[in-house]
Amino acid sequence: MMRNLTFKTLSPKSQKQVSITRPYNIAVAGTGYVGLVSGVCLAHRGHKVTCVDIDEQKMTMLQQGISPIYEQDLEELMYLNKERLIYTTDYKSAYKKADAIFIGVGTPEQPDGSANLSFIATVARQIAETVEKDCLVVVKSTVPVGTNDKVEQFIKDFLLKDVKVEVASNPEFLAQGTAVKDTLEAPRIIIGTNSIGAEQTLRKIYEPFDLPIVSVSRRSAEMIKYAANSFLALKISYMNDIANLCELVGADILEVAAGMGFDPRIGNKHLNAGIGYGGSCFPKDTKALDYLATQHGYKLRTVKAAINVNKDQKILLYKKACRRLITFKGLKVAVLGLTFKPGTDDLREAPSLDNIPLLLAQGAEIYAYDPVGNKNFSRIFPELTSPTEKESGAGSISYVASAEAALKGANVCFIFTEWEEIKKVKPLDYKRLMRTPLVYDGRNIYDLEEMQKTGVEYYSIGRN
């Protein structure tokens, strides 16, 4: 039965499925944000795609048309392109006859800040032992400069058949929540190759996307990804630093950002001061770049500064609230927003993860609300309500289904994520629902004057 498809983020051009005369046979290793979204978008642009993952449960979900990640328009595209998409745990069948194999597996952060490349190495070796025809291996995962060379070496070391396997870098710039749109409507596609043949193949694969292509060397492509992400992280930390100074000197960071953003050399994106950046990329990539520099005997001072500012920024409001309240013991605390940003159920490096343990240790009775993140968060911090379950002196946490439920009778409220559902809460609602309307807003959602007029004691970032 044909499903009625409604797209939320895609332009009419992006919504249209493309048919091409010579589709490539593409395998994609890893079905996380990068792998799955890339695979589905490559299928939507006409290629035959096999998505590979070791997680059987995930594959079963995907085969049933269910996306294991919360991402706008993804399930719609999975449905639309189901004839061109295969999901399997059998990497051999996927790699054997592939024209190109995209690697989108994770490169998680290690305790020293470096990227863990073991998943990439494993996939590279599996590819080498499996391929039966010439093919192009495309590294999409974020990897330190020089990793593509290593992948090439691993493949050479383990190659069983007499075939030519080339390696190209093709970093991904998608943001969570708009991943599909960012892929189909990317401002540019970066391809890093060390041979004309590899460049031509990648250009052909991306031809149906009809997007600008920037072709560079492999090492430059690897660096572009880290440099771009760290620059954006730096931009945010810079604005947070300036915001903190604004508070001290009586300026308003929203006005300052608006004024700065008019300068096209600065641009008006990623200038929002707040409770610090989180997510799976900025924190990890800044640390990995810093680690790479240190390994080469270089001090990357700007990136290090961005990392340090962000660390402090995440618990700035908590510290402010501590000074105001002295202790949270016995206080009902409403927490609005748990995910690292709206539009995703991802909690990685979310400011909530830094603040909730501090509040719990201080004896707070937390009532948390997130439109999609409650379930994931409760896996890390299980609901603890009865006094017998609690350690003595420690607080408790309950998950509620609305902002109103969290605010009812609360002594203090923290806002960590700017979900639309949270932005809809009116100043008067805080006044009406809370026992004492004291609000710490990490996302600068409200107008200062309006909050004051309504009788809400309101603290935000960079505004006095």
Q: How far is the CB of 3 from ligand UDX (least distance, A)?
A: 27
Which range, of 169-177, 316-324, 326-334, 455-463, touches ligand UDX by CB under 6 A? 169-177
Query: What does the CA dihedral 435, 316, 229, 285 come to, rounded to 10 degrees?
Result: -110
Q: How far is the CB of 235 from ligand UDX (least distance, A)?
A: 7
Contacts of 133 (CB under 8 A, 6+ apart): 97, 99, 163
Q: Based on CB atoms, which residue is closest to ligand UDX, 31 or 454? A: 31
Binding to ligand UDX by residue 341, rule CB under 6 A? Answer: yes
d(CA 182, CA 162) in angstroms, rounded, equals: 38
Is the CA virtual torsion 208, 211, 214, 217 positive or negative? negative
Among 150, 204, 270, 431, binds ligand UDX (CB under 6 A): 270
d(CA 189, CA 227) in angstroms, rounded, equals: 15
Binding to ligand UDX by residue 41, rule CB under 6 A? Answer: no
CA angle 16/22/28 to nearest 5° reads 75
With CB under 6 A as the rule, give the number of residues binding ligand UDX.
Answer: 19
CA angle 134/125/221 to nearest 5° reads 70
Q: How far is the CB of 464 from ligand UDX (least distance, A)?
A: 20
Among 87, 102, 209, 282, binds ligand UDX (CB under 6 A): 282
Q: Based on CB atoms, which residue is closest to ligand UDX, 286 or 362? A: 286
Whether 322 sits among the annotated catalytic residues: the reply is no
Among 91, 173, 328, 377, binds ligand UDX (CB under 6 A): 173
Half-sphere exposure of residue 299, counting CA atoms within 13 Å on the CB side?
A: 2
Are the C-beta atoms of residues 23 and 48 closer than 8 Å to each other?
A: yes
Binding to ligand UDX by residue 279, rule CB under 6 A? Answer: yes
Among 277, 291, 377, 414, binds ligand UDX (CB under 6 A): 277
Residue whose pair of structure tokens reads 């609360």 in the numeric block: 410
Binding to ligand UDX by residue 274, rule CB under 6 A? Answer: yes
Give bridge partners of residue 440 from the DSSP assignment.
414, 459
**Encoding tokens for residue 356?**
């909730």
Q: How far is the CB of 418 from ligand UDX (least distance, A)?
A: 8
**Encoding tokens for residue 260?**
């700065």
**Catalytic-labelled residue, pool 41, 51, 246, 281:** 281
Q: Based on CB atoms, which residue is closest to ligand UDX, 203 or 270? A: 270
Q: Based on CB atoms, which residue is closest to ligand UDX, 80 or 289? A: 289
Residue whose pair of structure tokens reads 């493949």 in the numeric block: 155
Among 176, 193, 286, 411, binds ligand UDX (CB under 6 A): 176
The torsion angles phi and psi of 187, rounded to 5 degrees, stand at: -65, -25
**Encoding tokens for residue 86?**
């295969």
Q: How far is the CB of 387 from ligand UDX (least distance, A)?
A: 35
Q: Based on CB atoms, which residue is closest to ligand UDX, 172 or 290? A: 172
Among 30, 39, 278, 337, binds ligand UDX (CB under 6 A): 278
The span from the first CA to the last CA of the chain, in angstroms, equals 57
Q: Based on CB atoms, which residue is closest to ligand UDX, 106 or 279? A: 279
Q: How far is the CB of 161 from ligand UDX (least distance, A)?
A: 35
Binding to ligand UDX by residue 272, rule CB under 6 A? Answer: yes
Binding to ligand UDX by residue 444, rule CB under 6 A? Answer: no
Residue 441 is given by DSSP the state E
**Of 46, 47, 34, whose CA–CA distance to 106 is shortest?**
34
In the sheet with 189-192, reading across from the earlier edge strand, the strands are 85-88, 48-52, 25-29, 100-103, 135-139, 165-169, 189-192, 213-216
Which range, of 16-24, 102-110, 162-170, 273-281, touches ligand UDX by CB under 6 A? 273-281
Contacts of 98 (CB under 8 A, 6+ apart): 25, 26, 27, 50, 131, 135
Annotate 252-283 with DSSP letters as a single string. Answer: -HHHHHHHHHTSTTT-SSS---SS---SSSHH
Q: Based on CB atoms, which residue is closest to ligand UDX, 278 or 427? A: 278
Among 271, 347, 384, 461, binds ligand UDX (CB under 6 A): 271
Among 27, 143, 145, 174, binds ligand UDX (CB under 6 A): 174
Give bridge partners of residue 369 from the DSSP assignment.
336
Q: Based on CB atoms, which residue is closest to ligand UDX, 167 or 174? A: 174
d(CA 311, CA 91) in angstroms, rounded, equals: 40
Which residues within the stretch 222-241 sit at the binding site for ligand UDX (CB under 6 A)? Answer: 229, 232, 236
Which range, of 49-57, 108-116, 121-129, 266-274, touches ligand UDX by CB under 6 A? 266-274
**Encoding tokens for residue 299?**
């001090």
SS3 103: strand
Which residues within the stretch 75-134 sit at the binding site for ligand UDX (CB under 6 A)? Answer: none
Q: Based on CB atoms, which residue is closest to ligand UDX, 212 or 393? A: 212
Contacts with ligand UDX, residue ranges (CB under 6 A): 172-176, 229, 232, 236, 270-272, 274, 277-279, 281-282, 340-341
Residues marked as catalytic = 281
